[in-house]
Amino acid sequence: MNFVEIMVGEKLKEADPALDVTGSDRKVLQVACQDFTNFLKFHWDLIGKEASQCELVEKLEKLFKENPAELEEFLTVWTGIWLKKWKQRVKLLIGKQNANKWRKVSKNLRSAEPLWKKLERKQEIQEVVIATLIKNGEICGTEILSENLLKMELGEKRVRNLKDKERLFTVVNNVLRKARGMAQSQGPLIFVKIDKGYYGTTN
């Protein structure tokens, strides 16, 4: 576990002692760490910078050494807000729930996958979408939501050629518009499919 995971993990356990962040709820911790990192990148104006990850770690370590109480207080507040958002945004789908809706979504995501792998400056484009989500008050699942929004739009617009800059520009613009709307919406945005047997197992 790295420095960020340890800090965020401790705060998540404080906020909700039922969470097993090193075991069955490890995914919650991973998403929270991604979101915390993205939030700090946005807050410290590091979005789109090449060495943003190194700069972020340096700033965090400096803050930890020079003002640990401030960092702790900030993390407590942030984790509390994030956890509330997580409970609002993440919905578990058991078995065949919403199967038809998912078929269409999966088809779009699958058709965009080959293009997504080849997309140049992918990280940069995704960070712009992440920044839009955060700017509009969405701090939960920013990495997942930005990637899925971009893939869905690539799939829906049936972009076949990455040299078609005009169409790609339209895709990004549409995604930014959708990200703004999504951030201001209520209710679940991330659906986690769970096998029916998951709840029937006994330890």
- The predicted pLDDT at position 81 comes to 96
pLDDT in tens, 10-37: 999 999 999 999 898 999 999 999 999 9
pLDDT in tens, 164-174: 778 888 889 99
- Check whether 49 has a pLDDT greater than 90: no
- Write the CA distances from 152 to 93, 105, 122, 125, 166, integer angstroms: 20, 7, 15, 14, 18
Average pLDDT for residues 82-90, to the nearest whole number?
92
- The predicted pLDDT at position 201 comes to 37
- Check whether 100 has a pLDDT greater than 90: no
In 3D, which of 133, 148, 117, 119 has the Cα closest to residue 41? 133
- Check whether 162 has a pLDDT greater than 70: no
pLDDT in tens, 52-78: 888 998 999 999 999 999 999 999 999
What is the rounded average pLDDT for all residues in the chain? 86
| C-alpha triplet 69, 14, 64: angle, nearest 5° | 25
- Compute, in degrees rounded to 10, the torsion defined by CA atoms 119, 179, 3, 54: 50
In 3D, which of 155, 143, 157, 146 has the Cα closest to residue 180? 146
Residue 97: pLDDT band (50, 70, 90) is low
Could you tell me what percent of the chain has a pLDDT over 70? 86
- The predicted pLDDT at position 15 comes to 94
Q: For the chain, what is the HEC assignment?
A: CCHHHHHHHHHHHHHCCCCCCCCCCHHHHHHHHHHHHHHHHHHCCCCCCCCHHHHHHHHHHHHHHHCHHHHHHHHHHHHHHHHHHHHHHEEEEECCCCHHHHHHHHHHHHHHHHHHHHCCCHHHHHHHHHHHHHHCCCCCCHHHHHHHHHHHHHHHCCCCCCCCHHHHHHHHHHHHHHHHHHHCCCCCCEEEEECCHHHHCCC
- The predicted pLDDT at position 14 comes to 95
pLDDT in tens, 106-123: 787 888 888 888 888 888
- Check whether 137 has a pLDDT greater than 90: yes
In 3D, which of 179, 135, 171 has the Cα closest to residue 153? 171
